[in-house]
């Protein structure tokens, strides 16, 4: 085996390493540049509080569109703290970046779109729309990891009380585009791996968000699109090739995930939120059209870095340690902010 000097090699790796038995490396190797560029391993080591109901906003029953901010936000429960930012904005700060959730009380709730606004761990402003829904006593999880929440805006009345909570869905510190990059996931007191849930970052360099040929598009109300890997709900997609009527190429559609390989499309974000989908009337020949995800973060897309939900019970003392493999584009000599953190949150 040749000897290499550095795992952050400043230049392109020799393409013949390990493949050319007639190389003149010698033993030890005379190379003085090293082999790479390689990556690093990062330990995400946290002790989170348990997700707590009403720890961002106590239960409210607005009768009209209402925005709660500043002193109206919660403080001191579920690991949250009231903080004043340098610009004077009062925010509720979470112990660690994590998704928030919306919980409806008992009764007959009226659906409202609840827009959470705030900042991520890297001080990027971000928003997320979570629908309260019409099912009583239900918690709806968000998908973006907030570090600070500056306001909670209800689009209208809700009939029953609705709170905004912290959840056990923890934000990842860097972009994770494949589960293979989570090298280890363990919790206090056990050498066994935690059977948690990983949500990949919303990023173009992944199988899920690549251009994919559609094997089937049903003629139905609504039509259902089948692909090898279905993108997450809220993703804007376009069609190429020959999709069935009334679908057309070069037009934005909002994707709703149905299963790991199927989804439905809407013609606008408003229709997506309302659950109004395109009815397909034309015929489709298998594999004559493809979907092309448009990777633009919005208030209805997932977190750009990804999240992890431990299977273990969080309690402010249980330690979660994720061993994350970072690639050269994230930490090497030619690394980029987008490579490390993903596209900008929105």
* pLDDT value for 33: 52
CA distance 163 to 58: 5
* pLDDT value for 24: 58
| Residue at 301 is within a domain | no
| Residue at 148 is within a domain | yes
Average of per-residue pLDDT values in the chain = 91
Indicate whether 165 and 254 sit together in one domain.
Answer: no
Q: Which residues pair with 309 in a beta bridge?
A: 197
Indicate whether 122 and 218 sit together in one domain.
Answer: no
Indicate whether 26 and 79 sit together in one domain.
Answer: no
Count of structural domains, the chain: 3
Taking the whole predicted model, whether its pTM rises above 0.85 is answered as yes
Indicate whether 162 and 82 sit together in one domain.
Answer: yes
Indicate whether 7 and 92 sit together in one domain.
Answer: no
* pLDDT value for 19: 54
Indicate whether 64 and 23 sit together in one domain.
Answer: no
Pair 171, 97: CB distance under 8 Å:
yes
The residue among 105, 140, 171 that closes a domain is 171
Residue 220 three-state SS: coil
Contacts from 252-260 at CB under 8 Å and sequence distance 24+? 252/294, 253/278, 254/300, 255/230, 255/231, 255/291, 255/293, 257/230, 257/231, 257/232, 257/233, 258/224, 258/230, 259/230, 260/229, 260/230
Ordered DSSP codes for 119-148: E-TT--EEEEEEE--SSSS-EEE--S-EEE
Q: Which residues pair with 57 in a beta bridge?
A: 164
Indicate whether 236 and 290 sit together in one domain.
Answer: yes
Q: Tokens in use for 90?
A: 């009062």
Pair 285, 219: CB distance under 8 Å:
no
Indicate whether 26 and 97 sit together in one domain.
Answer: no
| Residue at 158 is within a domain | yes
CATH at 165: 2.60.120
| Residue at 43 is within a domain | no
| Residue at 337 is within a domain | no
| Per-residue confidence band for 4, with pLDDT thresholds at 50, 70 and 90 | very low
* Average pLDDT of the residues in 268-285: 97
| Per-residue confidence band for 335, with pLDDT thresholds at 50, 70 and 90 | confident
- Nearest one of 102, 144, 136 to 120, comparing CA atoms: 144
* pLDDT value for 12: 53
- Answer yes or no: is pLDDT of 3 > 50: no
Which residues form the domain of 99?
57-171
Instruction: Give residue-wise pLDDT tens across range 126-139.
Output: 999 999 999 999 99
Q: How many CB atoms lie within 10 A of CB 246?
A: 13
Percent of the chain with pLDDT over 90: 82
| Residue at 231 is within a domain | yes
């Amino acid at each position: 085996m040749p000897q290499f000097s550095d795992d952050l090699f400043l230049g392109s790796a020799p393409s013949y390493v390990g493949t050319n038995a007639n190389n003149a490396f010698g033993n030890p190797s005379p190379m003085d540049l090293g082999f790479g560029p390689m990556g690093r391993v990062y330990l995400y080591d946290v002790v989170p509080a348990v997700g707590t109901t009403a720890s961002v906003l106590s239960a409210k029953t607005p009768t009209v569109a209402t925005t709660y901010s500043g002193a109206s936000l919660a403080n001191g429960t579920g690991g949250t703290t009231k903080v004043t930012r340098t610009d004077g904005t009062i925010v509720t700060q979470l112990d660690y970046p994590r998704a928030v959730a919306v919980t409806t009380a008992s009764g007959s709730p009226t659906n409202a779109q609840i827009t959470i606004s705030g900042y991520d761990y890297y001080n990027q402003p971000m928003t997320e729309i979570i629908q309260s829904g019409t099912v009583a006593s239900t918690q709806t999880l968000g998908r973006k990891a907030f570090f600070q929440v500056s306001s909670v805006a209800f689009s209208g009345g809700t009939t029953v009380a609705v709170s905004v909570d912290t959840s056990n869905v923890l934000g990842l510190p860097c972009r994770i585009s494949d589960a293979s990059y989570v090298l280890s996931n363990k919790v206090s007191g056990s050498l066994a791996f935690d059977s948690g849930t990983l949500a990949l970052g919303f990023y173009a360099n992944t199988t899920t968000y690549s251009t994919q040929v559609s094997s089937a598009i049903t003629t139905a109300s609504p039509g259902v699109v089948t692909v090898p890997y279905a993108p997450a709900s809220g993703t804007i997609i376009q069609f190429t090739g020959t999709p069935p009527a009334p679908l057309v190429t070069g037009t934005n559609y909002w994707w709703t995930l149905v299963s790991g390989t199927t989804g439905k499309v809407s013609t606008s974000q408003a229709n997506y939120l309302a659950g109004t989908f395109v009815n397909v009337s034309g015929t489709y020949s298998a594999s004559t059209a493809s979907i092309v995800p448009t990777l633009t973060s919005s208030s209805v897309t997932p977190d750009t870095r990804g999240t992890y939900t431990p299977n273990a019970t969080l309690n402010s003392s249980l330690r979660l340690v994720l061993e994350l493999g970072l690639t050269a584009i994230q930490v090497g000599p030619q690394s980029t902010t987008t490579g490390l953190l993903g596209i900008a949150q929105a």
